[in-house]
Amino acid sequence: MQTSIANSVSATGVGLHSGKHIYLTFRQAPPNTGIIFRRIDCKPVREVPANMAFISDTRLCTTLERHGAKVATVEHLLSAIAGVGIDNLYIDIDGPEVPIMDGSASPFVFLLKSGGLYRQHVPKRLIRITEPVSVTDDNGATCELLPHDGRKIEFSINFEHPAFSDSVQRASIDLDKESYFIDVSRARTFGFITQLEMLKKQNLALGASLNNAIGLDDTTILNPDGLRYNNEFAMHKILDAIGDLHLLGSVIIGTFKGHCSGHRMNKLLLDQLVSQQSFEYVEVA
């Protein structure tokens, strides 16, 4: 059955790019609403559905925009929503980006579960991949969706850096057998200090710190407590892909494989999937 939350839950956190405090409230939404961001700081309030039709930017993070109202960095929250299995939700937000929290999806999982799940008496709609779909860019990055009677995700990255041994550059998860909450949701975003200095000069990443990202210099990981998972970098790319793919509007039944891809390619993959009509809707209850 479709699911929303039973009780409203509010939270606050810092925006990764603005560095400002942003308030969020998750509220129950009726069946067949989907996930809708509501910019409550705009007059009138602007609704921005979490749908691929409203993706406006994929540099650094995934940004949605409708009628001039933006919501950036939606991917970690959408990943948590997909992981918890919520279909319908209003997200009231008083700024242009979702707070970064600890850089993973785990705080959002905690908040959504705190609201309690509310089962709605309408069948859940899933998307089943029927034909392989893939996209590749000029640098050799690829991502693809393949038919599979389950939910599997594989990802590989390729960084020439002492902290990235071969074993940490790969991650995979079978969501029918393993746990999104335990194995994926705690993986944090990561970045290089040299890039961070460049972004800050452009007035971006003003809220970035070792409290909300894994930071790397030329040789090592800067966070005193190290990594949460041995392959946290690659696992975070899986977390991102789950969030980006959820902009299709439903959980996807199939296999996703990514290699060095990111938000831009995830969007291109969704565009390709829709233009090829390589999927079908299935209802479950």
Q: Does 144 bind Zn ion (CB under 5 A)?
A: no
Judged by CB, which is closer to Zn ion: 29, or 78? Answer: 78
Residue 189 DSSP one-character state: P
Judged by CB, which is closer to Zn ion: 118, or 159? Answer: 159
| Shortest Å distance, C-beta 79 to Zn ion | 8
Question: Residue 70 contacts by C-beta under 8 Å, 6 or more apart in sequence?
Answer: 48, 56, 63, 64, 96, 97
Judged by CB, which is closer to Zn ion: 63, or 189? Answer: 189
Two tokens, residue 16: 């990764």
* φ, ψ of residue 202 in degrees (nearest 5): -90, 15
Beta-strand pair 46-49/117-119 = unpaired
Judged by CB, which is closer to Zn ion: 173, or 253? Answer: 173
274/245 Cα distance (integer angstroms): 12
Q: How many residues bind Zn ion (CB under 5 A)?
A: 2
> Does the active-site annotation cover 67?
no
Residue from 145, 240, 252, 261 binding Zn ion (CB under 5 A)? 240
- Site string (175-214) toward Zn ion, x via CB under 5 A: --------------x-------------------------
Closest by alpha carbon to 141, among 261, 267, 9? Answer: 261
Name residue 61's amino acid: C
Residue 137 near residue 28, CB atoms below 8 Å: no
Query: Site residues for Zn ion, window 64-93 (CB under 5 A)?
Result: none
- Site string (19-48) toward Zn ion, x via CB under 5 A: ------------------------------
- Contact residues toward Zn ion (CB under 5 A) are 189, 240
